[in-house]
Amino acid sequence: MKRCLIVISLSVVSLFFIHINIAQAQVEKYKPTFSIKLGSYLTSLSTDVRVDSDSLGRGTEFTFEDLLRLDKSKPLFRIDAEIRISRRFEMDLGYYRIDQSANLVDIDRTIQFGDRVFEVGAKVDGFYKVDLIKFNLKYSVILTDTVDLGLYLGINTLLYKVGLEADLGEGLEAVKKDVWAPVPSLGVHATWNIVPKLDLNAKIDYFFFSISEDLDFNQLQFNAALEYFPIRYVGIGLAYDIRTFTLDLSKSDFGGRLKSNTRGVQIYAIVGF
């Protein structure tokens, strides 16, 4: 009798672990070790800019899209990649660019931009560009066949370029500025396998750093996505993404302040192996 109970107990335990392994295999068989996500990011943009001057003092802060009558809703190309290093570690990479410009716009307010003052009615050319390159290392603290919950640490590299140009009576006058800012990111990520082949992903991070009132930056990022894999290693995704960055660089070579608010829906294809 005792031997029979031992055999039954071992059988139950074995069946339990077989069930767990099968469930885990069902989840992992459609999730690639390396994947690329390519798609369109349908954004809502808002960009506040201020460029100061040593001689004229603090510049005028304005919303770039409003001043130059730019379209605040713009589709962007976006690429992301995920590389699974081990069962619990994963690298998350990404890139997208915002490129806005306008020519000969009659501005409706006086703008001090760096060492130049653009009066009301001046015909202004302007541009604003930002390249965002992200690198995150993710670690899964809780990892089961249906739930993945963990932390991630990384860095977002921001490359900003802004400029205004106009004929102020003595030929073309232009002010152009650029700044390179590596911004750390620290956050939480989660994945829930709702049913086989369908995942709900979410991640959020916040980072704030300040040396003084004239040199600080902060960022907030949130992303929620549904991903469906109809066949092995090939899927589609639908995500909502929010990214806000504020860089106050009054005491740097840039000499000013940048604030970018980008949010929108992303539709993308997933291909991996």
Let me know if residue 36 belongs to a domain: yes
CA distance 229 to 94: 21
The per-residue pLDDT of the chain, averaged, comes to 84
> For residue 208, is pLDDT > 90?
no
How does pLDDT run across 17-76, given as a tens digit for each residue? Answer: 334 344 344 445 556 789 999 999 999 999 999 998 888 888 899 999 999 998 888 888
Let me know if residue 144 belongs to a domain: yes
Domain that holds residue 42: 31-272
Let me know if residue 5 belongs to a domain: no
Match 């990892």 to its residue by tokens. Answer: 143
What domain count does the chain have? 1
> For residue 5, is pLDDT > 60?
no
> For residue 7, is pLDDT > 50?
no
Let me know if residue 25 belongs to a domain: no
pLDDT bin (cut points 50, 70, 90) of residue 79 is: very high
Let me know if residue 35 belongs to a domain: yes
- Report whether 258 contacts 48 (CB < 8 A): yes
Let me know if residue 260 belongs to a domain: yes
Q: Given this model, what pLDDT does residue 92 score?
A: 94
CA distance 224 to 83: 19
CA distance 57 to 66: 23
> For residue 184, is pLDDT > 80?
yes
Let me know if residue 147 belongs to a domain: yes
pLDDT bin (cut points 50, 70, 90) of residue 211 is: low
> For residue 257, is pLDDT > 50?
yes
Q: Given this model, what pLDDT does residue 249 score?
A: 75
CA distance 272 to 200: 18
Q: Given this model, what pLDDT does residue 149 score?
A: 96
> For residue 121, is pLDDT > 90?
no
Q: Given this model, what pLDDT does residue 269 score?
A: 97
Single out the residue of 242, 247, 245, 249 nearest to residue 266, CA to CA: 242
Read off the CATH number of the domain in which 221 is found. Answer: 2.40.128.90
Let me know if residue 102 belongs to a domain: yes
How does pLDDT run across 215-226, given as a tens digit for each residue? Answer: 678 889 999 999
pLDDT bin (cut points 50, 70, 90) of residue 242 is: very high
Rg of the Cα atoms in the chain: 25
CA distance 160 to 95: 14
Q: Given this model, what pLDDT does residue 71 score?
A: 86
DSSP string, the chain: -HHHHHHHHHHHHHHHHHHHHHHHHHHHTTS-SEEEEEEEEEEEEEEEEEE-BTTTBS---EEHHHHTT--SEEEEEEEEEEEE-SSSEEEEEEEEEEEEEEEEEE-SS-EEETTEEE-TT-EEEEEEEEEEEEEEEEEEEEE-SSEEEEEEEEEEEEEEEEEEEEE-SSSEEEEEEEEEEEEEEEEEEEEEEEETTEEEEEEEEEEEEEEETTEEEEEEEEEEEEEEEEETTEEEEEEEEEEEEEEEETTSSS-EEEEEEEEEEEEEEEEE-
